[in-house]
Structure 1
Amino acid sequence: MTQYLFSPPAVQSLPIRGTTQQFPINRIFCVGRNYHAHAVEMGKPVDKSVERPFYFTKSPQTLVQSGATVPYPPESQNYHFEMEMVVAIGKAGFRVKAEQAHALIYGYAAGLDMTRRDLQLVARDKGRPWDLGKDIEQGSVCSEVVPMEGQIIDSGAITLEVRGNTRQTSDVGKLIWSVREIIADLSLFYHLQPGDLIYTGTPEGVGPVVTGDKITGRVAGVADVALTIGAAE
């Protein structure tokens, strides 16, 4: 038996609706600027006719379950919410055709891609990686996984409220790159594996939160997600 110098990290997982089993997390992929209105508000419009999707990753250890209270993160003065539909991959796939992408889907969830916006924008403008702005401890929030094997969601309201005030409202039908297109394109770069999560992008209306704020979001027909911002450590 292998003897480790210290205990390795526990496997991150999410509850699965309707069962006592857990969905173990392998990797977290995020699609950048996948709603036109959000791309515009970030000052980086997208022309799908000449561009491909782009991605960044977040460590599985950043995952927290819906309903948690997390501290305001260090070294930031501009912490933002980003409401997203999340695809849970249940089967392996590499160089998958778009018309076969549904076969990899286990289910869906509602997620928050929390972002140190000030650090992200500094990195973006200097051509540096986004890690400090995106790969944040307790910065990947996710609901339970809802089994929907082989199903493609191509429409449905996506909304977010802070302290009961609506801040984001759109429809997943407005994704620039659809669920099929995302899975097919991402599988050209990676051997997708069971346990991978894909955060599909956020609509317009992103903005800052402060200590004490409660965030609630919903993907219609999928799930709700909630987060409370605690005091900085």
Structure 2
Amino acid sequence: MKLLRHGPRGQEKPGILAGDGTIRDLSAHVSDIGGDALTDAALANLAKIDPMSLPIVAADTRLGACVAGTGKFICIGLNYADHAAESGMAVPPEPVIFMKATSAICGPNDPVIIPRGSTKTDWEVELAVIIGTKCKYVSEADAMGHVAGYCVANDVSERAFQTERAGQWTKGKSCDNFGQVGPYLVTRDEVPDPQNLKMWLTVNGTKMQDGSTKTMVYGVAHVVSYLSQFMTLHPGDIISTGTPPGVGMGMKPPQYLRAGDVIELSIEGLGQQRQEVIVDLV
């Protein structure tokens, strides 16, 4: 299934993508795409519904983040060896963990907002994992059973905030609209091998990133198991698993986003995002 959330920001309703490409409303069957609705049993019940029997949603309706109630937005850094190289950093001996503020989460086509004082706002297409059931100290062999599904994420980053100012990476990752997720939560059964997905990103029509999850250093099962050794993972938590090469910081000379730019990004089978870049005027 391809589950989604549609409607104005803060008022999203649950939905599903039907086989004919239309969006259908799931409000009569589930209150939202999050929490207990992410268990295998709950997803199996939703799978029994014929999407074509559901009310149709206007094609131009805004899509929100594809999961609700996210308590943690966890990111894995330098998880592609070739991206680590372009960043001038070594492949880490264990996954690098940092947090992205949940207030950065937004819809897949909501704008990228360049924050006040930014000079180096950058893009990162990433495979995001959405946790379906609570897990703690889970083994790698059992980790995938706690995954509800996957989605596309744009881990937008302000590199000067991230690497040139004192402290950790979080402040360069957490600005408003620095976390587009969706358009769909694609359930685990539709992604038999998350380590073999093509992924790409363009800026103004020029391809910047063209990679595959094949080149991840630490795969999804390892990452879920690893994180669960340090923190309990809860339904709706998002794990963004790293980006392939081609980010602006790695170019010679570096290239960063400017107002008016258009970003498009996709991962095989998970849908596509499109964002216009604007400046924060608040």
Measured against aligned partners, the alpha-carbon deviations of 1:149-197 in whole angstroms (never above 9, x if no partner) come to 5955111101001111100011001100000110010000110110100
Equivalent in 148, 154, 160 of residue 195 of structure 2 = 154
Partner of 1:221: 269
- TM-score by length of structure 1 reads 0.87
- Looking at structure 2, the residues matched to 151 and 191 of structure 1 have their Cα atoms a distance apart, in angstroms, of 25
Distance 1:122 1:232, change over 3 A: same
- Looking at structure 1, the residues matched to 131 and 241 of structure 2 have their Cα atoms a distance apart, in angstroms, of 13
Asked whether the 8 Å contact 1:108–1:147 carries over to 2, the reply is: yes
- Looking at structure 2, the residues matched to 81 and 203 of structure 1 have their Cα atoms a distance apart, in angstroms, of 11
Asked whether the 8 Å contact 2:71–2:234 carries over to 1, the reply is: yes
- Looking at structure 2, the residues matched to 13 and 99 of structure 1 have their Cα atoms a distance apart, in angstroms, of 35
- Looking at structure 2, the residues matched to 62 and 212 of structure 1 have their Cα atoms a distance apart, in angstroms, of 20
- Looking at structure 1, the residues matched to 126 and 110 of structure 2 have their Cα atoms a distance apart, in angstroms, of 17
Matched, 1:29 2:74: yes
Instruction: Measure how far apart 1:13 and its partner are.
Output: 7.4
Partner of 2:225: 184
Distance 1:73 1:212, change over 3 A: same
Partner of 2:155: 113
Where 1:88 maps in the other structure, the secondary structure is strand
Query: Aligned partner of 2:188: which letter?
Result: M
Structure 1 segment 1-233 matched on structure 2, within 5 A: 17-18=16-17, 20=26, 21-22=32-33, 23-24=67-68, 25-46=70-91, 51-123=93-165, 126=166, 128-143=167-182, 144-149=184-189, 151-207=192-248, 208-233=256-281
C-alpha RMSD over aligned residues? 2.1
Asked whether the 8 Å contact 2:72–2:102 carries over to 1, the reply is: yes
Instruction: Measure how far apart 1:148 and its partner are.
Output: 1.9
How many percent of aligned residue pairs carry the same amino acid? 26
Aligned length, in residue pairs: 218
| Greater relative contact order (CA < 8 Å, ≥ 6 in sequence) | 1
- Looking at structure 2, the residues matched to 177 and 147 of structure 1 have their Cα atoms a distance apart, in angstroms, of 21
Partner of 1:6: none
- TM-score by length of structure 2 reads 0.72
